[in-house]
Structure 1
Amino acid sequence: MAMTDTIRVVELASLDIPAAYAGWLLAAMGATVTRVGDLPAAGDDSLALAAASLAQGKTLVPRDSLEAVLESADVLLCDDREALVLAVGGLDVLIARYPRLVIGVHSIFGLDGPYADIPATALDAQALSGVAWALGEPDRAPLSIPAGILEHQGGAVLAAGTLAALTARERDGLGQVVDVALADVLASYVGGNSRFYIHHGMAWHRNGRRASSSGGAYPFAILPCADGEVCLCGRSRDEWNRLVTVMGNPAWAADPRYQSLRAMGRDYPDEVDALVKPWLAQHDMAELERLAIANNLIMSPVRSIADVIATPGFHADGFLHDQDVAGRKLTLPGLPFRATAARRDGERDLASGLLATDAPPASTGPANRPLAGMRVIDFGWVWSAPWVGTMLGELGAEVIKIEHGKRPDTLRLSGKIFRDGVLVEGSSTQMSPMYHQVNHGKLGVTLNAKEPRAVELIRELIATSDLVIENMSPGSLERSGLGYELFRSVNPRIVMLAMSAAGQFGVLAGMRAYAPTMSSFAGLEALVGYPDEAPIGALNVGLGDPNASVHGLLTALAALRRARATGEGCYIDLSQVEALAGTLRPQIVATQIKGEQPTPTGNRHPHIAPHGIYPASGEDRWLTLAAVNESAWCSLATMVGLASDKRFGDRASRLANVAELDAAMAAWTVTQERDDLVARLRAIGIAATPVLSIDEMWRDPHFSARGVKHPVDIPGYGTEEVFRGPWRFSRMAPVIDRRGPLPGEHNTQVFGGLLGLSDTTIAELSAAGVIA
């Protein structure tokens, strides 16, 4: 295979989204991408149009050109293993023929493991991972995220994994297989977010339009306003006080009963809702959006996709743009980040050239730890930015997390810790399992950045670092005397990733948000619900944070590659809201071609029927079931006794009569034992998976076989399994070698061993409140 400068990617096309989105992301950042195979026949099919739109920026060639384009390729992307076997004979043949090739494969359950060879859809990944268990009404069927959205997120993981593998290739010249299973991606999400509940004594279960037990503190719910609905979220006393002030300090708010956020959220949230609703009813969604931005409230309207498309800020920063797709002019999302040489509004965007550089020089170090030798400074808090640093650390980077001892990461402050329902005595700031999930493997130091000497220490760390990560409100670091302009003056090669809610500049820059308000603003919450009913939303899952993490990781890896090749760093301004809105591409297309908001469809699929979550015998027992082709339907219809029912004779008829089909399937499945039925369905080629509770997910053999969890020892809590980044590499294994750091645990190691301060100086700076 010939050496190339810019990354050359071959995309073995299917009619699905993951590989197409991975290729689109890489093309949008400057890689040369060749799509092998035809575009899907689109018509008025929003999923097909969305997939076709992802051909933007790619060269299209016929399938018989595959071997010719592979001769000079660096990366092959695929989400159809059967097509890979038919085209070239399979992975073993590819590896032998092209030893430098990075081969990225996306599937539902991965290339190995107990379920690798069974039929499956994205619905099965949601069932196995615990996502479906947490969505919907508590006494009704579990719900799922609509088709196409999670497939985009799997594609982003695939793109990031291939860049990690290319970094490894710089060390030994060899490619490898990047194996991404959507079930693993979602389990890593759940493995983070569910800990916010189960380790603080709350259930992880469907709870309608409110997160389970309000996520531990009031508010955390979707409530009505004058012309629609609004999502309210708050975790701190300051956030609640700001909301009460904007509401006009009503007399009831001074009652001691409404002073404890945890009691309000867990014990009587409906009572507090009844007090808040009259104020909300006086305001429409637009007014509430303005109030939220002006007063730093964690509140967002539950917006329609049409609202999202019409967002002026999304057009002003170039995120939304017009594109011709299959003869239609559509408004579609672009990259959710900008890369610039300086942190200034209006700077030229470098994002489209991050991968269009000469190849970096060969580097030394172990290829199975491709980021060894890199240093990351992590100012992140809660989930989105810290998870980027953690995944980089698993690949070999040294990650130093900077906190203030008196204002630590919010994840340390979530309250009492429970294990198996029993209170664990000890310091909750040291034990929080979600903190260790999101921050394992890092070094931890404490600094008071308001002190000039602390700023100097940070400057010294930056001088020998490669990447800075933060997800604070725009301008927070600059107001502390830090920021990218200072960092690049110390180290021109430094890359900085800033992950704010809605970008650093523009009319939305003042937005304060947590995952549920971001997903409400991005349009996701209005899409999840039962057929022909008002939306339920997806508050328990918090997709906005981990989705932003993987998009942030992708652009950080691309920018680091550019820095190694050119010696020039850059400033990355990532909008978490845009990162999530960009995964709603099928729904953005559907809104434009149909002229109306996509209504909740429960667990139905636009192309497949039956496709749903159905009851089994017993309490709260459910399974997925999908007949993905006519052969599968014939086998299923015979088993169920529907083979002669003309209403379901072909796919078009089944889709037209899907409500009756769902009712017939549910009437049959409810008489069956769940796991036995799943086994029998799989045996005849039906995609079927039990909907696992969080406890069942933790024990499922798939996740053990895939090695996605590793034990760490948490002081005071004991051994706990944490999830790693959601991929498997054939020639390297992400490493989890320790828990997250305790507050200031590595002050001596970093300030003494790395910066050379004496024990006496460290003690003096600690006494002065600098190292604090």
Structure 2
Amino acid sequence: MTDMSPLDDVTVVDLSSGVAGAYCTHLLAGAGAVVVRAEPPEGHPLRRRSASGIVSPDGEDGALFRFLAGSTQSVVADPERPADVALVLDVLARADAVVWDPDSRLAAVPALQPAALHERFPALDVLALTAFGLDGPWAGRAATEFTLQAWSGAIGWRGLPGRPPVSVGGRVGEWMAGTFAATGLLASRRRRASDHGGQILDTSIFEAVALSLTNMHPVTYFAEAGRPRDPAPMSLLPGIHATKDGWVGFMTGTGQQWLDFCVLVERFDWLDDETLIAQGERERRRDELTAHIDAWAAARTTAEILELAAALRVPAAPVGNGATISAIDHFADQEMLVEAPEGGVVQPATPYRLHGKASLPAPGRAPALGEHTAEWARRVADGPRPSAGPTSGPGGRLPFDDLRVVELTAFWAGPSAAQFLGMHGAEVIKVESPARPDGMRALSLRAVDEEQWWEYAPLFHATNTGKLGLGLRLDRPRGLELLVDLLDTSDVLIENFSPRVLDSWELSPELLHQTNPGLIFVRMPAFGLTGPWRDRTGFAQTMEQASGMAWVTGFPDGAPQVPSGVCDPLAGAHAAFALQVALAVRDRTGEGMLVEVPMVASALNVAAEQVIEYTAYGVLAQRQGNRSPSAAPQNLYRTADPDDGLGGPLVAISVETDDQWTALVDALGRPGWAQASELAGFAGRKAREDELDARLGAWCAQRSADEIVAALWTAGVPVARVAMPHEPDHTQFAHRGFFETVEHPVEGSTIVAGSPVRFTRDRYPVHRRRAPMLGEHNAYVVTELLGMTADEYDDLEANHVIGTGLRLDG
């Protein structure tokens, strides 16, 4: 190891006030960046935040803040004092990037807003985190995570028959936005190696929610299928079931896994019922199936069930929560949860590992308020403001246009990591076996007896734009030799197979680095490369169950529910971040490395508040349905519109601040019941949530959704129509160009979601190339990149080492 931290040459000023900005800078500081948090005299809002309400008013910082602000610095500046604002500007003059959101008092200073900062410091990257983005018809509108989930369609499809749809707990969308922001910021920084100008990175939390919480690209699916993938609210079946001593979660993602599950729960008659292979049929027969599964699970302990499931290779996990996560054997063995620097509190470890000569810094403590103010005042006084340097270079360069990436991944998490690189210029070569291609192709709109059925897969199209396709049989020696030859000419390998797969091929980093020492080898196993769960099959839903995400999603009187899919884009974004950390090292040393990004580690970080709050305060977070520990009132309400057959239409209303409550009261016409003095404060409203829900429910029942949104949103109240995921209101999306049209030679036109981080200087479509057809670019890879002759190519094709379509035989 060396003393060099990967990002120790990067300085970032944090002017944000929420979870998204704090997690963005937490990731950057965790890789060694110098993060300076500029705070008003009262401090960052998260210093006083606690879901349990236990943070001391006498100055003790909240445990969540101490986690997110670890290893950072604090400079206090009063926005009312020009000298303090000047100090912040002097610090910014020495920075590479600033992270901004509109809710800090400092961020409201005109000189510290994105456009002004970009004009004053043209070499600075200005990352702006807002609810809807900096422009568009919804820019500046009131919103909370809850209403963003409603607008995007993330609530409408999730739930159980006979119950209202339910939001995802834990502010996952804000954590996701912070991850996308950090990943985008590193990409912009890498571009500056050739084009030195900074830019505004306009990041929309709404778009982050739409990309990650709406069940796998529903707009793309609808564009190609002409119907939604899930026509009604659904949850997994089997899903989460009570055991003798807790809860256990299952995920049967394939037909074989369902059959194995039938054996697990001793229902051999279900094996013979082919209709139950379809999740929709299982949903229709929910009462019948769950009656047996619940009784079977209740007769066994969680440990007994997990042992049986592992033997049958049925994906399963204990349902973790703040009290139990740290005792789960795999997390303890792999040190995925560690003691905080200040002691007494358990927090997630860094969500990735670098296996190379550069090391990540040990987690540091959070700074006291203003701890580094005097130090920075001396630093800026000791010397002149540094030159901004050149602000433009040759132009036309994309962040990764010097990289060749080989991708050995399937489904969503791995492909999304590689897709990010392709979006921003990398040549990405997706390797698929003609005998067993990416499993996303199996989710086809065509029957398996139709010609090229594997090319009619909307979810494959959505997650694989920007790539070339190589059809290569890696179960044959010659195929592995070709892969190694290709890796010798490449910069990055990304894979998300089970660890034993690459072990069987003997594709070790040591072997690959013998001939290509600069190769960065990114591995994305479900649970890690070592440990008790190393060889377990894992899906996003499994991670959501184990990490605690499911624990806080659902209603208090029911079972936990999985967010169902968020861990895939979450893991992909974390992998793209970790890869760029490794690239920063290689750009300085020329050396590649192995980067390990367990999917579950990303989930544990995003669910951090649960274990932190429990170990700090002894308070266990619970499911609250559509309510929130930080908002009151907050819920879904039926409107006067005609019945949609799904229990709606519904609107979402969420009041997080006293000012929003005052605005709601005014919009309602200041009724007498709303004038009670105790309702002016959060605690009073929280104590009377049932009454407030009844009052708002009666008011909404007399009005259409459009009338409710018009009345409340104009007044400054966070409100939304509850959309289904395939039909979000496209007004804001259209303005920002979030969805892009892509042409496919078989499927025709389709629509694909873009990136929540919009680069204002480098404006280019991120889907410049459609998803590849199976083996479409074999000739380019084999003859041009590998230099083989036409005869050698024909021989490989004749022996089925390469192929341009699905071939199940031989």
Normalised to the residue count of structure 1, the TM-score between the two structures is: 0.89
Q: Which residue of 1 aligns with 2:351?
A: 336
Q: Indicate which of 227, 230, 243 corresponds to 1:204.
A: 230
Q: Are the aligned partners of 1:302 and 1:523 in contact in 2 as well (CA < 8 Å)?
A: yes
Structure 1 portions without partners, runs of 5+: 212-218, 342-347, 355-361
* Alignment equivalent of 1:623, drawn from 643, 651, 654: 651
Q: 1:70 aligns with which of 77, 89, 92?
A: 92
1:74-473 to structure 2, matched below 5 A, reads: 74-80=96-102, 83-86=106-109, 88-189=111-212, 190=214, 192-194=216-218, 203-204=229-230, 207=233, 210-211=235-236, 220-247=238-265, 251-257=268-274, 260-261=277-278, 264-265=281-282, 268-323=285-340, 329-341=344-356, 350-352=359-361, 366-417=395-446, 427-473=452-498
Letter in 2 for 1:340: H
Q: Which position in structure 2 is the counterpart of 1:657?
A: 688
Shift of 1:548: 0.7
Give yes or no for contact 1:142–1:206 (8 Å, CA) kept in 2: no
Displacement of 1:501 in angstroms is 0.9
Q: Paired residue for 2:746?
A: 716
Q: For residue 757 of structure 1, what is the aligned residue in structure 2?
A: 788
Cα distance between partner residues in 2 of 1:482 and 1:143: 44
The 10-residue stretch of structure 1 (606-615 or 38-47) with the greater mean CA deviation from structure 2: 38-47
Show CA shifts across 1:628-653 (max 9, x none).
Answer: 43333223223332432345243221
Please tell me whether the aligned partners of residues 288 and 301 of structure 1 are also in contact (alpha carbons under 8 angstroms): no
4, 25, 30: which one aligns with 2:32: 30
| Whole-angstrom CA distance in 2 between matches of 1:45 and 1:166 | 35
Q: Aligned equivalents of 1:543 and 1:6: distance in 2?
A: 32
Q: Percent identity?
A: 28
One-letter amino acid of the structure 2 residue matched with residue 337 of structure 1? Y
Paired residue for 2:48, among 25, 30, 42?
42
The aligned residue for residue 358 of structure 1 is: none
Q: Which amino acid aligns with 1:667?
A: A
Specify which of 537, 553, 556 is matched with residue 528 of structure 1. 553
- Tell me the CA shift for residue 624 of structure 1: 2.0
SS in 2 for 1:527: coil
> What's the offset of the Cα at 1:479?
0.9
2:59 is matched with none
SS of structure 2 residue aligned to 1:157 = helix
Residue 524 of structure 2 is aligned with which of 499, 506, 530?
499
In the alignment, structure 1 residue 666 sits paired with structure 2 residue 697: yes
Aligned to 1:688: 719
Q: Structure 2 CA distance, aligned partners of 1:663 and 1:712?
A: 46
CA RMSD of aligned residues (A): 2.9
User: How big is the shift at 1:475?
Assistant: 3.0
Q: Deviations over 1:564-604 (max 9, x none)?
A: 21101111111111211111122223323453532211222
In structure 1, the residue matched to 2:806 is none
Greater alpha carbon shift after TM alignment, 68-77 vs 616-625? 616-625
Aligned partner of residue 340 in structure 2, secondary structure: strand
C-alpha contact (below 8 Å) 1:18/1:155 kept by paired residues: yes
Range that drifts further, 223-232 or 657-666 = 223-232
For residues 240 and 632 of structure 1, the distance between their equivalents in structure 2, rounded to whole angstroms, comes to 48
CA drift of 1:259 comes to 7.2
> CA, structure 1 residues 378+140, in 2 after alignment: closer, same or farther (shift >3 Å)?
same
Instruction: From the superposition, tell whether residues 93 and 253 of structure 1 become closer, same or farther in structure 2 (CA, over 3 Å).
Output: closer
Query: Does the CA contact (< 8 Å) of 1:466 and 1:560 recur in 2?
Result: no
User: Structure 2 vs 1, CA of residues 455 and 579 (structure 1 numbering), >3 Å: closer, same or farther?
Assistant: same
Query: Per-residue displacement from partner, 1:168-207 (whole Å, max 9, x unpaired)?
Result: 1111111111111111112222373437975676653663
Which moves more between the two structures, 465-474 or 58-67? Answer: 58-67
The answer (yes or no) to whether the contact 1:191–1:722 under 8 Å persists in 2 is no
In structure 2, the residue matched to 1:12 is 15
Report if the CA contact (8 A) 1:204-1:694 is conserved.
Answer: no
CA deviations on 1:512-543 (whole Å, 9 max, x unpaired) are 1111122111111121123x32244135x411
Larger deviation, residues 583-592 vs 754-763? 583-592
Secondary structure of 2:309's counterpart equals helix
Indicate which of 711, 730, 734 corresponds to 1:704.
734
Compare 643-652 and 24-33 and name the one that shifted more: 643-652
Relative distance call for 1:76 and 1:136 in structure 2 (3 A) is: same
| Structure 1 pair 390–20 and aligned structure 2 pair: CA distance change class (3 A) | same
Using the TM superposition, give the Cα deviation of residue 702 of structure 1 relative to its aligned residue in structure 2, in angstroms: 1.0
Counterpart AA for 2:257: E
Task: Please state if 1:731 is matched with 2:761.
Answer: yes
C-alpha contact (below 8 Å) 2:466/2:769 kept by paired residues:
yes
Letter of the aligned partner of 1:700 in structure 2?
H
What secondary structure is seen at the aligned counterpart in 1 of 2:780? helix
The one-letter code sitting in structure 2 at the alignment partner of 1:514 is F
Larger displacement relative to structure 2 (609-618 or 736-745): 609-618
Contact kept, 8 Å, 2:219 with 2:725, in 1: the verdict is no
Deviation at 1:688, TM superposition (A): 1.4
CA gap of 1:43–1:452, structure 2 versus 1, over 3 A, is closer
1:220, CA displacement in angstroms? 4.6
Q: CA separation of 1:102/1:270 partners in 2, compared to 1, >3 Å: closer, same or farther? A: same
Specify the code of the residue in structure 1 equivalent to 2:659: S
> Which region of structure 1 is more displaced relative to structure 2, 91-100 or 190-199?
190-199
Instruction: Give SS of 2:168's match.
Output: coil
Letter aligned with residue 554 of structure 2: G
